[in-house]
Structure 1
Amino acid sequence: MGRWTPDARGRLAQAAIELYAERGFEGTTVADIAERAGVTERTFFRHYADKREVLFAGSTAMQDAVLAAIAAAPEDATPLAVAGDGMRAAAALIDSAGGDFPRRRSAVIAANPSLQERELLKLAALATASGGALRARGVPEPAASLAGQAAVGAFHVGFAQWIAGPADATLASHVEQALATLPTLA
């Protein structure tokens, strides 16, 4: 591909996920990814800070969607329902992207302990941010933190079930099932 071929970022992500599946995360270099994508290493670093970031680049957009949904939730909704709206927004964002990148990404992360750690840190940050957004709505502690943690936990469980399930199911349906289970636990 030529230097000015559009969507370098998308090509880099596709090349990375293919190489991670073929060679493993540790066995893949930035140079390998850039070469497969038909760009220079310099171009890679314009789009991603490092090779891990290819897998985690969507975290900010997901958190933004969650926080926007929490802020927009009805004022009379319970903290858990509001936090659940945030997780529904995250699921809808992932579903709207389509493709098999989330499933392939999940397999790469599952095969690498340092990536698993980063994924858990990302989820913890999402739970903390969700709790903060609930506090900004006037939800007191510990309810704000508990609702944020519980909703992110339901998202995590729903995501795992979605990854393990049939490819034609939506993430949103699995997250919805997990969220619906939360009230029955108390």
Structure 2
Amino acid sequence: MAKKEDDVRTRLQGAALELSRERGYERTTAAEIVARAGVTERTFFRHFPDKREVLFDGEAMVRAALTASIADAPAGLGPLDTLFGAFRSFQPALEDNWSYAKPRHKVISATPALHEREPAKIAALTDALTAALKARGVADLRAVLAARTGMAAFVHATLSWLNDPTAVWRAYRSRP
């Protein structure tokens, strides 16, 4: 994606988050988001299929980074160690996104209409991790179990990090 397109997405995300924090997600319209971002509604819908998705953007980047890390993991590494290595490799991206992730989490937590989207995104990511493990030769049931277990740990660690950004990563770093 071109730099200009990244900037537009970032401005739309920032505007959506600011407005959702100021007046609540449900009282924020796509028209207000585009006005704050300085773009047209057509531009908004070229980047995001709906208002909810602007707060959930990034799934494809997370999936690509984690599955690439799984594919590049050393041969002979077990599925959970492979996953935890992938999660650790993604840590810098999470830390770089702290200023957006923390308020985004607060908006999602405070908005029942957004609660169903988060588990759907997690399930899709878990499926991608399962497929990446299977591509490494991990048996079906073992890949599913490892992906679900690893994803549960990653989600828990991420939520804990949002509450205390120092404690969780110390635990990840201490793992072999």
TM over 0.5: yes
The equivalent residue for 2:125 is 126
Q: For structure 1, which segment, 84-93 or 114-123, has the greater mean C-alpha deviation from structure 2 after superposition?
A: 84-93
How much does 1:115 deviate?
Answer: 1.4
User: What SS is found at the alignment partner of 1:142?
Assistant: helix
Question: 2:108 matched to 1:109?
Answer: yes
Contact 1:88 / 1:175 at 8 angstroms: preserved in 2? no
Q: For structure 1, which segment, 121-130 or 81-90, has the greater mean C-alpha deviation from structure 2 after superposition?
A: 81-90
User: What SS is found at the alignment partner of 1:109?
Assistant: helix
Between Structure 1 and Structure 2, the one with more helix by share is 2
Counterpart-to-counterpart distance in 2, 1:34 and 1:170: 37
How much does 1:22 deviate?
Answer: 1.0
The equivalent residue for 1:36 is 36
The equivalent residue for 2:157 is 158
Counterpart-to-counterpart distance in 1, 2:71 and 2:171: 20
How much does 1:174 deviate?
Answer: 6.1
Contact 1:66 / 1:90 at 8 angstroms: preserved in 2? yes
Counterpart-to-counterpart distance in 2, 1:77 and 1:129: 19
Counterpart-to-counterpart distance in 2, 1:90 and 1:155: 11
Q: Name the CA shift for 1:149/1:108 in 2 (closer, same or farther; >3 Å).
A: same
Figure out how many residues of one structure are paired with residues of the other and give that number.
Answer: 171
Counterpart-to-counterpart distance in 1, 2:167 and 2:24: 27
The equivalent residue for 1:176 is 172
Counterpart-to-counterpart distance in 1, 2:55 and 2:170: 22
How much does 1:144 deviate?
Answer: 0.9
The equivalent residue for 1:184 is none
How much does 1:85 deviate?
Answer: 2.0
**TM-score, normalized by length of structure 2?**
0.87
| Per-residue Cα deviation, 1:19-75 (whole angstroms, up to 9, x for no partner) | 011111110000000111122212212222211111111000000111001100011
User: What SS is found at the alignment partner of 1:7?
Assistant: helix
Q: Name the CA shift for 1:37/1:20 in 2 (closer, same or farther; >3 Å).
A: same
Identity %: 42
Give the RMSD, CA atoms, in angstroms.
2.2
How much does 1:92 deviate?
Answer: 2.9
Contact 1:9 / 1:47 at 8 angstroms: preserved in 2? yes
Counterpart-to-counterpart distance in 2, 1:148 and 1:174: 22
The equivalent residue for 2:20 is 20
How much does 1:142 deviate?
Answer: 1.8
Counterpart-to-counterpart distance in 1, 2:146 and 2:171: 15
How much does 1:175 deviate?
Answer: 7.1
Counterpart-to-counterpart distance in 2, 1:65 and 1:174: 21
**TM-score, normalized by length of structure 1?**
0.83
Which runs of 5 or more residues in structure 2 are unaligned? none
Counterpart-to-counterpart distance in 2, 1:175 and 1:54: 31
Matched to 1:152, the amino acid is: M
Counterpart-to-counterpart distance in 1, 2:109 and 2:98: 19
Matched to 2:124, the amino acid is: A
